[in-house]
Amino acid sequence: MGKRFCICECYYTCNFFIKEYEMHVKFVDGEQFLNDYRKILLSKSCYNPESLIPQLKKEYNRRRQVEALNIRQRQCVLQWYTPRHPHLYTLQQSFLDSRFLEVVEAAQQPDQTCEALARLLQDHQQRVFSFPVFTKEFCEMFVEELTNYEEAPIQKSRPNTMNLYGIKLDELGFTDFVSSLQKEYLTPITRLLFPEWGGGSLDSHKAFVVTYKDGEDVDLSYHYDNAEVTLNVALNEDYSNGELYFGPMRSEVSSRRFGYTHQLGRGLLHRGQQFHGALPITSGIRHNLIIWMRSSEVRNKLCPMCNMTPKLVPVKEGFGDGFTQNEEDVCTLN
Ligand SMILES: O=C(O)CCC(=O)C(=O)O
Ligand SMILES: [Fe+2]
C-alpha cells in the first residue's frame, strides 16, 4: 500500500520562534497572540508586544505557501545554479572516514548489541555518541560548494525558524545523498543505539547546513529538534568557541548539562528530543551539517511539536515533516 508524506496541521500555527526573546509561541492572529503572551513578554521587558505581530504574520503567511515556494526554489536552483563540484552530489564511499565504515560494518554483524557497538563510538553522556563521519577532503570540498551556492545570485530559503542563515540541502539537490547516508550507513547504527526512537525505521529526513558568523547568527538557543534522531557533523574548524551543550530529554526535569566541542569531520548522534544549544562563536565561521532523521512509525503516533496525535495534511512533493498516511486514506478534494 502506498504512503503519502504529511505535515501535522500544527505547523501552520505552532512553534513560531521569536529570537529577541528566545521564545516559541503559537500564532493564530494578533488578538490570540496578545492574549496569550502579553504578560510573559512584559516579564521579559518587552513593553510593546504589538510590534512583534508583523514578523509573526509574515511567518504565518510563509508557512501557508511553503510547499509552492519550495518547489519554485528547487526549480530555480536547477535552472540557474552551476555546481562547483558536481561529483559531490552522489554519495561515494570515498567521502567517508574509514573508521566510520568499520563502525557500520560492526553494526551490521548479526548478533551485534547496543553495548558492544557503543564501545566503538565515543560515548559522551546521556546517550550522545560521536564518531568520525567524513574525510577532511570531503568536508573542504563540501564547504567550497556551499560557499559557491551562498554567493550565487539566487534567492535562498533558510533552514528553519531558528536558523536564519545556512542552506537547505533539499533545495541544493542533496536529497538522494542524504537518503543514502541515512539508509546505508546510519540506520545500522541508530537501529541499535535508539530502537525506541525508530532508529531502525528512519524513513525521511530534513537536512541543512547551519552557518554561524559574526554579524549573522553566532549561536543557537536551547531547543529540541523536530526529529527522532539527529546527526550533526562539523564541516570545518577554523573558528573559536561555539561549543554545543546538552540538557535532559524534553520529558525529564534536570539541571544537568554537559558540553561537546566539535571536531572536523566528526559527527554526533543524539535523540532529537534531547535539549541542546550552541554557544556563540567568537571568531571565524562555523559550518555544521545537521540531519534531522524521522521515523513515521514513531511520529505518526505523537507529533513532537504539538505533543498530540498529529492531524495529517498530505504534501504533494518531498517528505513533509516525516508523518505518513496510507494513500487510500488521503482525502482528495480536487
Ligand atoms: O550548531 C550546532 O552544532 C547545532 C545545531 C542544531 O542543533 C540544529 O540546527 O538543530
Ligand atoms: Fe538542534
Residue to substitute in 237, 275, 276, 305 for testing ligand 1 pocket (most ligand atoms within 8 angstroms of CB): 276
Ligand 1 atom nearest the C-alpha of 220 is: 1
Residue 322 burial by Cβ neighbours in a 10 Å radius (0-12, 13-18, 19+): buried
Task: Report phi then psi at 277, rounded to 5.
Answer: -160, 170
Ligand 1 atom nearest the C-alpha of 277 is: 7
Residue 100 burial by Cβ neighbours in a 10 Å radius (0-12, 13-18, 19+): buried
CA 158 to chain centre: 12
Contact predicate 296/304, CB 8 Å: no
**Protein residue closest via CA to atom 10 of ligand 1:** 225
- CA-angle at 96, arms to 92 and 100, nearest 5°: 135
**What pLDDT shows up at residue 331?**
62
Convert the pLDDT of each residue in 104-116 to its tens digit. 999 999 999 999 9
How far is Cα 109 from Cα 173, in angstroms, rounded to an integer? 33
CB of 290 shorter than 6 A to ligand 1: yes
pLDDT at 11 over 50: yes
* Spatial CA neighbour of 186 closest among 207, 170, 165: 207
* Spatial CA neighbour of 259 closest among 279, 244, 275, 248: 244
pLDDT band at 333 (very low <50, low <70, confident <90, very high): low
ipTM given for this complex: 0.99
The residues facing 283 across adjacent strands are 240
CB of 276 shorter than 6 A to ligand 1: yes
CB of 220 shorter than 6 A to ligand 1: yes
**Protein residue closest via CA to atom 8 of ligand 1:** 290
CB of 293 shorter than 6 A to ligand 1: no
Stretch among 3-12, 154-163, 164-173, 263-272 having the lowest mean pLDDT: 154-163
Distances (CA, A) of 214 to 130, 239, 283, 286: 27, 11, 7, 10
Convert the pLDDT of each residue in 29-47 to its tens digit. 999 999 999 999 999 999 9
**What pLDDT shows up at residue 255?**
84
Q: Which residues contact 194 (CB under 8 A, 6 or more apart)?
A: 127, 228, 229, 269, 271
pLDDT band at 256 (very low <50, low <70, confident <90, very high): confident
Helix, strand or coil, per DSSP, at residue 281: strand
What's the distance, Cα to Cα, between the start and end of the chain in Å? 22
Task: Report phi then psi at 156, rounded to 5.
Answer: -120, 150
For the chain, give the mean pLDDT.
94
CB of 278 shorter than 6 A to ligand 1: yes
More confident residue, 122 or 66: 66
How far is Cα 241 from Cα 214, in angstroms, rounded to an integer? 12
CA of 223 to the centre of ligand 1 (A): 9
Which amino acid appears at position 55 of this protein? Q
pLDDT at 329 over 90: no
Ligand 1 atom nearest the C-alpha of 232 is: 3
pLDDT band at 332 (very low <50, low <70, confident <90, very high): low
CA of 99 to the centre of ligand 1 (A): 24
Contact predicate 237/223, CB 8 Å: no
**Protein residue closest via CA to atom 7 of ligand 1:** 277
Return the exposure string of 117-133: e unless at least 16 CB atoms fall within 10 Å of the residue's CB, then b. Answer: beebbeebebbbbbbbb
CA of 278 to the centre of ligand 1 (A): 7
Contact predicate 74/149, CB 8 Å: no
Using the structure block, give the residue that is written with the C-alpha cell 503572551. Answer: 37
pLDDT at 211 over 90: yes
How far is Cα 156 from Cα 153, in angstroms, rounded to an integer? 9
* Spatial CA neighbour of 331 closest among 314, 317, 319: 314
Residue to substitute in 210, 235, 305 for testing ligand 1 pocket (most ligand atoms within 8 angstroms of CB): 210
Residue to substitute in 133, 233, 288, 294 for testing ligand 1 pocket (most ligand atoms within 8 angstroms of CB): 288
CATH number for the segment(s) 3-331: 2.60.120.620
Residue to substitute in 290, 291, 294, 305 for testing ligand 1 pocket (most ligand atoms within 8 angstroms of CB): 290
Ligand 1 atom nearest the C-alpha of 163 is: 9
pLDDT at 334 over 60: no
